Structure 1
């Protein structure tokens, strides 16, 4: 059951996480509880499904990554998992996931690759497709960074 302390914790999590040696300590203080209680509550919320995850949002362009390319590939079903794990292991990849293919959009493996230039992103793409013998693929580059936000209480 969600109570006032849970709601304070959720509201604090929806803002900026403190950049400090003890971010959960600061969060607990703002929410009016101890760190131990905060962690127990977060664990309970995660277990009961009221909290999906706590994640960072990277503002790529502010970080100097001006080129962001979405690699889309067509792979045989039996190769997707291994290729996806390989691709997800690249430090330049922030997202890597499988999607259903459709007749007019056949791609089933996607990855967001970040670099300082489009040519840097394409070097990473070329390395991956060569190593994995990918024949059908494309790279879609972002032209602008859209507002990143989520639902807030």
Structure 2
């Protein structure tokens, strides 16, 4: 009986000491004035292991590009892109999956073509200048988003075209 009581007390004190409190910029296992309870339980992971893995799209010094399961720098190649793919697929299916993700990302980065509109009258110069300024801001944000070189070349050309039109309109 006494032994059971000791085990129960030991279990109770272990639970109490497991609680963590944040007291200002410090942490304590004892409550403090104005302290907040912090969840210190370990992160739960899937016992079956990860469902995806990372594969790398690399560029060689000769300009050839490959998908590989190891990091590009291990072979002295340049990293172009990484993609998460399902781990339960074969290598060819993983590459096809990653290519689809890459194409979808490239399409999402491109601005969609607006339907042709035929206004009754020509918009004012100020409205055109404002629209061109918004287009340049949008293109700048796309460039900062971190696209691939061919995307950045397209963005650069579109931005130059918009700035040239602004210059011709004397915005």
Q: Under TM normalisation by the shorter chain, which class is it?
A: under 0.3
**TM-score normalized by structure 1?**
0.21
TM-score when normalising by structure 2: 0.19
Task: Report which of the two has the higher share of helix.
Answer: 2
